[in-house]
Chain A
Amino acid sequence: MQIYLPIAEVSVNAFLLLGLGGLVGVLSGMFGVGGGFLMTPLLFFIGIPPAVAVATEANQIVASSFSGVLAHFKRKTVDLRMGTVLLVGGLVGSFLGILLFNYLRSLGQVDLLVKLCYVTFLGIIGGLMFIESLNAIRRSKKAGGAVPTRRKHNWVHNLPFKVKFRVSGLYISVIPPLLVGMLVGVLAAIMGVGGGFIMVPAMIYLLGMPTKVVVGTSLFQIIFVTAFTTMLHATTNFTVDVVLAVLLLIGGVIGAQIGTRIGVHMKAEQLRILLAILVLAVCGKLAFDLLVTPSEFFSLGTGGHA
């Protein structure tokens, strides 16, 4: 069934969009990532104009994250205090990110920079996570199932303004979470994603939060950052396509519920290694596109001069 999208101004198959939404929703619920880093390239691929894809994706992430976070609230795996600290950093960061994005756009070449950002961050994070979780699995096998102690004392624990994060079982300074939130905010604004795929590893490895709490807390923060981004896009660029968003989010919210339940039954190491593989796959695809000789050397942009 073909449906015409009023803002994107293209006609697409409604079931294809529902399916894509569902697939990305499952991953979103499992890993606590918004899924934007997967969905945005997929939308480009089916012919949605990039500006509309990025803006609408932000709106869709609000829905799937909200659905996901409710499931986590029921299981009390959301650290509200940590989420709020990350959110404050995130909002400051995304504001800075939009300033940086507009500056880069005035220089031209913003597309390339966005792609390089994707390849770099997806590559580093995916690679590190993959190696770490592989080691963790090997260790847990050797130790006969004993839980490895991951919470080491490092420089993070020697900073001032210490706060108790009871749900996470942490007593650390607010400075690292603020910085993590800000960094994610900057990257989210530039790359047009929620930023969960950067935040989840940062929370695990930099802040030392337990994996179970990480997913819910990340979703909680993403809701607000993407809601903010949606409003910015809707009021400045008029690129949020509500029909596209509805189709994606119907699939997405159902998928997120299923994903959250799959995630509960999996071990943390397995969850992490799967996320790492997924991140590396997307990274590989993007890098491949940059390296391989294109079949069409030309592309069309809007406006006479840009």
Chain B
Amino acid sequence: MIRLLAALLLLIALPAKAEEIVLGLSRDQVAITANFDGSDILIFGAIKREEAIPTDSELGVIVTIAGPDQPVLIRRKDRKFGIWVNTESVAVDVAPTFYAVATTAPLSDILDPIEDTNTRISISKAIRSVEAAQSDTQQFIDALVRIRSSQELYQVLEGAVDLEDETLFRTHVTLPSNLTEGDYRAEIYLTRDGQIVDLYSTTIPVKKVGLERWLYNLAHDNALMYGLMSLAIAIGAGWGASAAFSLLRR
């Protein structure tokens, strides 16, 4: 009963979804094969409307792709006795292993800060730390974003979403090769004057396939066999090279 009421209230709160997202993806999963070297994902879609395009407010499209969350430990080096040593560290409980934000315009123009805090769209909001009490924690979080950005794991692509006639949109996100396996969440937000009017989300599984999958599973599920196999390969290769060279010398 309560649930039904809540649903009814929601319906009232979002009276008629004036604008709705219809989405397409160039690929619905990413397979990591032996020659995997990153991947491009094309995200395209349209905005479905029952009425005419509103002209009194500004439309924005935000596309985010987030990899699985993992805790991270950030360490800082300081000079001690003349050498650089890891001293302080900050533990971040939740940080996406990959995060890309693509937008039609600068994020601050099309997204209200309060909406950002609620939905955690911008990178700094996507990282959550419990140890936030310390004053210099922000410095560590900034370093995390800086390091991951330099590895192309965090990407801010402001203006990278093409919007045509306020109806058709498209963008592409490049996934680097150093991806963490798991389900990647793709989310598309439609905003009007900074307020989110529609959200579409889907998942893109990223996983190893074929030989890569087989080796990874063997290494984890049957470690002893895997270790012995590695040693056998090593000894075999060592013997093979030695035999080949003595043949060559004859």
Contacts and interface: CB of A to CB of B under 8 A. Distances in A.
Interface of A: 1-4, 6-7, 9-11, 47, 59-60, 62-68, 70-71, 74, 109, 111-112, 227, 230-231, 233-235, 238, 240, 242-243, 245-246, 249-250, 253-254, 256-257, 290-294, 296-306
Contacts of A67: 237-239, 241-242
B45 to A, nearest CB: 30
Among the interface residues A4, A254, A291, which one has the most CB atoms of the partner chain B within 10 A?
Answer: A4
Given A7-B216, A11-B36, A304-B71, A297 B234 contact: no
A4 B36 CA distance: 6
20 contacts: A3-B34, A4-B37, A9-B178, A9-B179, A9-B181, A63-B235, A67-B238, A70-B239, A112-B86, A235-B224, A256-B238, A296-B146, A298-B75, A298-B140, A298-B146, A298-B147, A299-B86, A300-B75, A301-B74, A302-B72
B75 A299 contact: yes
B96 to A, nearest CB: 13
A1 B35 contact: yes
A301 B73 contact: yes
Interface string B197-236: 0000000000010011101100110011011111101110
A62 B143 contact: no
B34 A4 contact: yes
B177 A10 contact: yes
Interface stretch (B9-17, B56-64, B77-85, B183-191): B77-85
Nearest to A73: B242
Nearest to A67: B238
A296 B139 CA distance: 12
Given A4-B177, A245-B234, A300-B144, A74 B246 contact: yes
Contacts of A66: 234-235, 238-239, 242
A304 B34 contact: no
Contacts of B213: 6
B92 interface: yes
A2 B147 CA distance: 23
A256 B241 contact: yes
Among B76, B91, B227, the most chain A Cβ lie within 10 Å of the Cβ of B227
Interface residues of B, number: 64
Contacts of A245: 230, 233-234
Given A2-B35, A246-B237, A62 B231 contact: yes
B83 A250 contact: no
Contacts of B70: 302
Given A4-B35, A242-B233, A304-B93, 14 more contacts: A3-B34, A4-B177, A4-B212, A68-B238, A71-B245, A234-B219, A234-B224, A243-B34, A245-B234, A249-B238, A290-B83, A294-B77, A298-B144, A298-B147
A292 B181 CA distance: 36
Nearest to B82: A291
B245 A257 contact: yes
A297 B216 contact: no
B179 to A, nearest CB: 8
Complex A-B, nearest 4 residue pairs according to Cβ-Cβ distance, in ascending order: A66-B238, A234-B227, A11-B177, A304-B71
Contacts of A227: 231
A246 B235 CA distance: 11
B119 interface: no
B226 A234 contact: yes
Contact of A230 (B140, B148, B227): B227
Interface in B123-165: 140, 143-144, 146-148
Nearest to B147: A300
B195 interface: no
Nearest to A11: B177
A102 to B, nearest CB: 18
B106 interface: no
Nearest to A60: B234
A138 to B, nearest CB: 35
A298 B91 contact: no
A107 to B, nearest CB: 12
Given A3-B34, A109-B86, A302-B73, A234 B230 contact: yes
Q: Which of B34, B70, B72, B82 has the most CB of A within 10 A?
A: B34
B32 interface: yes
Contacts of A300: 72-75, 144, 147-148
B219 A243 contact: no
B73 A303 contact: yes
A301 B75 contact: yes
Nearest to A70: B242
Given A109-B86, A112-B85, A304-B73, A62 B235 contact: yes
B219 A7 contact: yes
A304 B72 contact: yes
A6 B177 contact: no
Nearest to B243: A70
Given A4-B33, A240-B219, A304-B71, A231 B241 contact: no
